[in-house]
Structure 1
Amino acid sequence: METDTSLEYLSFRSNIPCRKIVLDDSEKVWTIYDGGPKTVRTPLICLPPVSGTADTFFQQVLGLSAKGYRVISLSYPVYWSINEWCEGFRKLLDFLQLDQVHLFGASLGGFLAQKFAEYTHRCPRVLSLVLCNSFTDTSVFQYGDSAPFLWMLPSMVLKKMVMGNFGSEKMMESVVADSVDFMVERLESLSQAELASRLTLNCGSSYVHVDKLQQYCVTIIDVFDDCAIASPVCEDMYRSYPHASMAHLKNGGNFPYLSRCDEVNLHLQVHLLRFERMRGGNTFKD
């Protein structure tokens, strides 16, 4: 069954309202799905990869909100620099009246989660990090030299750049292939500016100052089968966060939060359980 016609996805679209939030000017529109009890002041916020949209984490919103967690999945507006994105995200948290949050980021989303934790480390807005198939240094990508010119490329070229990392569906399990099909549909929905800006954030010269993040509770989720993140990149993540909890999935491809959603949700729940007894801003409903 195709993911976007599954009963779970249809239930998500029927029960979780899509909200548009305008910040700064009419061009900065954040799209969010906010599931679970709104009384929870420290939700889990899900940050998608380059090809993702706000519904990418629908399985996490549905599965975890049913257990009493508040989960927000979002899609970013167009930002051309990491600092600009971090400032925009800070303003979004201010608008939502959220002082601190847990961040679950996939690929580019994981990199942005780390950079936001770094950006706000003197006055922390991040309680913890869950990083899925992510990285700490953009130099691992081959488009670094061309990053300043990505804004000029047509949408078709940009989409081919992204889809080149998806792999061949002929060699995939059906659930992994379905997750790729779902993300291809999301990719097709992005405008040229949205895609160019995300690729610029993904490929422009930048790295995480991991020494500033060692105090955070971190869980690293990765897969043992083929995905766009190569083994040396994964090993760099392990070295960067020597005290992180490791959640290794036997398979799942680039998008395990879709293809192996039950396993990913379990790891997220284990991660968040550490904060269950926090007072004055707990992860669970009081």
Structure 2
Amino acid sequence: MSYMSELSQSNEYLSFRSSIPLRKIIVDSDSSKAWKIFDSGPKSVSCPLVCLPPVSGTADIFFKQVMGLASRGVRVIAAEPPPYWNMKEWCDGFKRLLDYLELHKVHLFGASLGGFIAQKFTEITKNCPRVASLVLCNTFTDTSVFEYNDSAALFWLLPSLVLKRMLMGNFTTDKVDRRMAESIDFMVERLESLTQTELASRLTINCSPCYVQPHLLTNIPITVMDVWDESALCSRVREDVYKSYPHAKLAHLKSGGNFPYLSRSDEVNLHLLVSLICIYVLNTHILV
């Protein structure tokens, strides 16, 4: 019998899985590729919050955002991509997903790689904007910070076990509180569920030479969400994000580790809600 984490056995997670269906949506010519999404909240909301996971994450890692914010009237979509091997492929696929869902614009909440891709998608679509705002959690602006830059082109050859070990090295082994320990266990469980192709494709995008051009993202509201305790990204990487977006709102959490959307979901959800409310008030003011 396979190990099950406490979070995946919790009443909240079980309620999430029983009440919100996992949808598989094919938008590519390759019918074996399907986006996996959980979509909750009022379907009348045409500009929802879309959550994008890190390398090791699946769509359900955002179950606390989906459940918590949907109950406040926010439409939340947790989205997990099929294997894409470069940034253009990924962004083209995401555009097709938004078109399929009939969403002209979305708010993006991206964690780690999800945050980097959210920035690149905003940049790539700047001439025909699809992003209303960005919330960037524990993320980066340049893939050169990763040690595997030179070997990214070979990830497709590596066994799943090797790829998983590469990622496990980023999970803290220090003593952490119960909620953080539970979030790590849950993420390890999700990581174990990913296939070699899923992991290799994500790591290839994560480590292939690429960087954000922040000056192209100045026209939308940006919130940088960060934890003050230890996470996989060093302080220099965090500082680079701050310098890239000097006018961004800062959402600091005293603790939370690599996965605050799980370990500190109440605080994260509050910051997300405040961000969305501020944008709504601003837009209403502009229209008036």
TM-score (norm 2): 0.95
Q: How do 1:63-212 and structure 2 match up within 5 A? A: 63-168=68-173, 170-212=174-216
Does the 8 Å contact 2:221/2:279 carry over to 1?
no
- Displacement of 1:146 in angstroms is 0.4
Deviations 1:18-56 (A, max 9, x none): 100012221220000001000000000000000100101
- Displacement of 1:277 in angstroms is 4.7
Deviations 1:160-192 (A, max 9, x none): 000100010x51111101000000010000000
Report the Cα distance in structure 2 between the residues aligned to 1:221 and 1:247, rounded to whole angstroms.
5
Match of 2:220 in 1: 216
Report the Cα distance in structure 2 between the residues aligned to 1:274 and 1:80, rounded to whole angstroms.
36
Q: Secondary structure at the match of 1:161?
A: helix
Distance 1:132 1:279, change over 3 A: closer
- Displacement of 1:279 in angstroms is 7.5
Q: Secondary structure at the match of 1:124?
A: coil
Is 1:6 the counterpart of 2:10? The answer is: yes
Q: Runs (4+) of structure 1 moved beyond 4 Å?
A: 277-280
Q: Secondary structure at the match of 2:50?
A: strand
- Displacement of 1:12 in angstroms is 0.5
TM-score (norm 1): 0.96
User: Which amino acid counterpart does residue 155 of structure 2 have in structure 1?
Assistant: L
Match of 2:262 in 1: 258
Aligned length: 279
Report the Cα distance in structure 2 between the residues aligned to 1:230 and 1:8, rounded to whole angstroms.
32
Report the Cα distance in structure 2 between the residues aligned to 1:28 and 1:209, rounded to whole angstroms.
29
Does the 8 Å contact 2:84/2:90 carry over to 1?
yes
Report the Cα distance in structure 1 between the residues aligned to 2:220 and 2:151, rounded to whole angstroms.
33
- Displacement of 1:238 in angstroms is 0.4
User: Which amino acid counterpart does residue 125 of structure 1 have in structure 2?
Assistant: R
1:246 to 243, 250, 257: 250
Say which structure is richer in helix: 2
Structure 2 runs not aligned, ≥5 long: none
Deviations 1:129-165 (A, max 9, x none): 0000000000000000000001100000000000100
Structure 1 runs not aligned, ≥5 long: 281-286
- Displacement of 1:128 in angstroms is 0.3
Q: How do 1:17-36 and structure 2 match up within 5 A? A: 17-24=21-28, 25-36=30-41
